[in-house]
Amino acid sequence: MSEYKDFSICKDTQLTLKKAHEDGVETVWDRFKKQKPRCKYCKAGVSCQICVMGPCRIDPSGKSKSKLYGVCGANADIIVARNLARMIAAGAASHSDHGRDLIEILYKIGKGMAPGYAIKDTVKLKRIAKEYDIDTKNIGNEEIAIRLSKAMMKDFSMEKGRLTFIDRAPKQRLELWEKLDVIPRGIDRETSETMHRTHMGVDNNHMSILLHAVRNSLADGYGGSMISTELSDIIFGTPKPGFSEVNLGVLKEDHVNILVHGHNPAVSEMIGQAVEDKKMIQLAKAKGARGVNLAGLCCTGNEILMRKKIPLAGNHLMTELSMVTGVVESIIVDYQCIMPSLGQVAQCYHTRLYSTSNKAKFPFIEHVEFTPENAKEQAFKIVKESIENYTRRNKDRIFIPASPVKNMTGFSVEAILEILGGSLNPLIDAIKAGKIKGVVGVVGCNNPKIKQDYGHVELIKRLIANDILVLTTGCANVAAGKAGLQMPEAKELAGPGLKEVCGLLNIPPSLHVGSCVDNSRIIVIACALANAIGVDIDKLPIAGAAPEWYSEKALTIAFYVMASGIYTVLGVMPPIGGSKKVTELATSGLKDIFGACLAVEPDPIKAAKLITAHIVEKRKGLGLSV
Ligand code: SF4
Ligand code: SF4
């Protein structure tokens, strides 16, 4: 067992990974090992495949005089900046395409073409419509939905020339962005321009490539991601606090277990409706099960956990392991972070896998396409087949490794405001009084380069002990939840000031604020705090951290958070080390431009020290006690 402790701090992961090996199943950790040693050129970001005169490689040490330029003459700075910009564009495209799919659903709800979907938060629909200058008087919700979706479509194009939500930023930040010419003009436009600029022979100045990459990231943070969050709330309901459970122990031996995985709640919403249907429950009973148990993985899991308190079975590195329990009848995936290995693992068990998006198909996974028009029908088909699959379970292979851990979730911006009595003032007062020293977003993925969940949990524990309130999104939530940090009782691990505030409000010191697109909620809070205090965001005692990030989306998030003025510590080095200029810019030079930069620190204990020192510096800047 001891060897499994090297992979994860979580008992359920360690035990299930051991069983996976006994069952002969290869996992992400095994493939990670086989990939060693890593290519030093790719690691440093100095390999280029942008055109077929290459591929080219630059010596990252700079010692080999014959390897200073690619065939076209691009040097390490150009190649690293181009590769980095393309990663950021891919992240922005992913979140934004997710947002676009939600706009389509909202439009079709308005048109009566999306059976099963509805507008759950009409108050928010009207509030967001107002932000888009839509006169909501004397028109019905369906017409508002149509007008709002059409207005949001314009954010994607070049029709407006400026994103609507960008004006949520404080005026000082907007003036800075205007001066730097990084205000996003259209979501798709910025991603498309990144691809153009980084084509051979277009932008060959690392600084201007990076500044555009920042604009592209802002198009995600204040565009694609923010639209995704707001529309998910409108269509599926704005999250409210409540309790649920987390880890592989949420799977039930005597139930049909169905997992939903990916990012977009559009599919899981319909699956959620189908599993509650009386006929489906009767069918499950007829097959010998006590009922149907729905649970989530990764960010689709976060979406349904936030809104419906449906339990969360695991994060990124546990998606393969969920099947090793032998009790999962089906996994239904939408898109992003779905390992192509899942179909292979399913061959060893009875689990049926379904892909649902026409843009995300996988080997050995059955494709059942969901559209706004047919989603309800398809959800019932899949749930019925999953229930029928219960009888194929091999009872001798069942292994549920742990009991579930209780967690608290649902901290949308609206919920936080309600807890605080309608405004951020109590939070500001607590920060001013030094009861809460600062606020830090701990976000992002798992990555086999870091012991699973160690980066998240160790960092969060040290921050809360220093009276720093933590907001978590994405896979960091599962780590925090499993460690018990998302329960009000975790206040006992907090410093005296934070403990007092959490006790008064009956909240945990580490708040679950959503999925990865919901980092936009953290941005909304940062903007509102800055506006309320009357300073720019970079003056606030706040920071961000992505201790175990792996995804291009996480890098995009890091960039829009940094460009918003928030110091951000990454636990894994991005592939930029081959350019001294780009590395220095990212880790220090950007501070002179945006008032914030990135840092890279894999050790969460050292990362906590960096962040705490940053919070102290910002408090001093505001004349607050430290
Ligand atoms: S763009 Fe230049 S550096 Fe990149 S592959 Fe082509 S020739 Fe090589
Ligand atoms: S946090 Fe990272 S790994 Fe987890 S679902 Fe989001 S992007 Fe994927």
Summarised one tens digit per residue, pLDDT across range 268-316 is 999 999 999 999 999 999 999 999 999 999 999 999 999 999 999 999 9
CB 244, CB 312: distance < 8 Å:
yes
For ligand 1, whether the C-beta of 48 sits within 6 Å is yes
CA 541 to chain centroid, in Å, comes to 23
pLDDT of residue 579: 97
Q: What would the two tokens of residue 248 be? A: 């592989």
Q: Which amino acid is at 109?
A: I
**Omega into 55 within 30° of 0, i.e. cis?**
yes
The secondary structure element, H or E, covering residue 244 is strand 242-246
For ligand 1, whether the C-beta of 83 sits within 6 Å is no
For ligand 1, whether the C-beta of 605 sits within 6 Å is no
pLDDT of residue 3: 83
Q: What is the distance in A from the centroid of ligand 1 to the CA of 95?
A: 28
DSSP string, 273-339: HHHT-HHHHHHHHHTT-S-EEEEEEHHHHHHHHHHH---EEE-GGGHHHHHHTS-EEEEEE-SSS--
For ligand 1, whether the C-beta of 50 sits within 6 Å is yes
CB 345, CB 25: distance < 8 Å:
yes
pLDDT of residue 63: 81
Q: Nearest C-alpha to atom 6 of ligand 1 is from which residue? A: 51
Pocket test for ligand 1, best of 51, 52, 196, 209 (most atoms within 8 A of CB): 51
The percentage of residues in the chain with a pLDDT greater than 90, rounded to a whole number, is 98
Sheet-wide strand order for 542-546: 510-514, 468-473, 438-442, 542-546, 567-570, 598-600
Q: What is the DSSP letter of 41?
A: H
For ligand 1, whether the C-beta of 51 sits within 6 Å is yes
The percentage of residues in the chain with a pLDDT greater than 70, rounded to a whole number, is 100
Q: What is the distance in A from the centroid of ligand 2 to the CA of 319?
A: 11
Question: Which residues make Cβ contacts (< 8 Å) with residue 42, sequence separation at least 6?
Answer: 575
- 554 CA: nearest ligand 2 atom: 7
Pocket test for ligand 2, best of 220, 306, 445, 478 (most atoms within 8 A of CB): 445
Helix axes 206-219, 552-563, angle to 10 degrees: 100
- Helical H runs in 394-474? 413-419, 425-432, 454-465
Alpha-carbon gap, residue 232 to 127, rounded angstroms: 14
- 336 CA: nearest ligand 2 atom: 8
Q: Which amino acid is at 170?
A: P
For ligand 1, whether the C-beta of 398 sits within 6 Å is no
Q: What would the two tokens of residue 208 be? A: 């201007």
Q: What is the distance in A from the centroid of ligand 2 to the CA of 466?
A: 27
Mean pLDDT of the chain: 97
Name the residue with tokens 């950007």.
590
CB 290, CB 254: distance < 8 Å:
yes
Which ligand is nearest the CA of 302, by number?
2
CB 234, CB 226: distance < 8 Å:
no
The SS3 call for residue 226 is helix
Q: What would the two tokens of residue 500 be? A: 């007092």
468-473 and 292-297 as β-strands: parallel, antiparallel, unpaired?
unpaired
Q: What is the distance in A from the centroid of ligand 1 to the CA of 230?
A: 41
- Helical H runs in 160-297? 171-180, 187-197, 206-219, 225-236, 265-275, 278-286
pLDDT at residue 173 greater than cutoff 90: yes
pLDDT in tens, 83-133: 999 999 999 999 999 999 999 999 999 999 999 999 999 999 999 999 999
Alpha-carbon gap, residue 511 to 441, rounded angstroms: 9
Q: What are phi and psi of 624, to 5 degrees?
A: -100, 155
pLDDT in tens, 240-261: 999 999 999 999 999 999 999 9
What is the greatest pairwise CA distance in the chain? Answer: 74
Report the pLDDT averaged over residues 57-74: 89
Q: What is the distance in A from the centroid of ligand 2 to the CA of 337?
A: 6
CB 554, CB 622: distance < 8 Å:
no
pLDDT of residue 61: 81
Alpha-carbon gap, residue 91 to 261, rounded angstroms: 18
Which ligand is nearest the CA of 515, by number?
2
Burial of 292 (0-12, 13-18, 19+ CB in 10 A): buried
| pLDDT confidence bin for 65, thresholds 50/70/90 | confident
Q: Which of 336, 329, 338, 308 is CA-nearest to residue 236?
A: 308
CB 229, CB 523: distance < 8 Å:
no
Q: What is the distance in A from the centroid of ligand 1 to the CA of 204?
A: 12
Alpha-carbon gap, residue 405 to 484, rounded angstroms: 7
Q: Which amino acid is at 275?
A: V
Q: What is the distance in A from the centroid of ligand 2 to the CA of 516?
A: 6
Alpha-carbon gap, residue 589 to 607, rounded angstroms: 19
**Omega into 37 within 30° of 0, i.e. cis?**
yes
Q: What is the distance in A from the centroid of ligand 2 to the CA of 490?
A: 24
pLDDT at residue 183 greater than cutoff 80: yes
Q: What is the distance in A from the centroid of ligand 1 to the CA of 2?
A: 46
Q: Which amino acid is at 358?
A: N
pTM of the model: 0.97
Q: Compute the Cα dihedral for 409, 473, 298, 164 and give only its sign.
A: positive
For ligand 1, whether the C-beta of 140 sits within 6 Å is no
pLDDT of residue 62: 75
pLDDT in tens, 476-523: 999 999 999 999 999 999 999 999 999 999 999 999 999 999 999 999
Q: Which residues line ligand 2 (CB under 6 A)?
A: 298-299, 315-316, 337, 444-445, 474-475, 516, 551, 553-554
| pLDDT confidence bin for 2, thresholds 50/70/90 | confident
Pocket test for ligand 1, best of 58, 69, 72 (most atoms within 8 A of CB): 72
DSSP β-bridge partners for residue 47: 57
C-alpha angle 141-119-240 in degrees, rounded to nearest 5: 130
Q: What is the DSSP letter of 38?
A: P
Q: What would the two tokens of residue 623 be? A: 């004349």
Q: Nearest C-alpha to atom 3 of ligand 2 is from which residue? A: 445
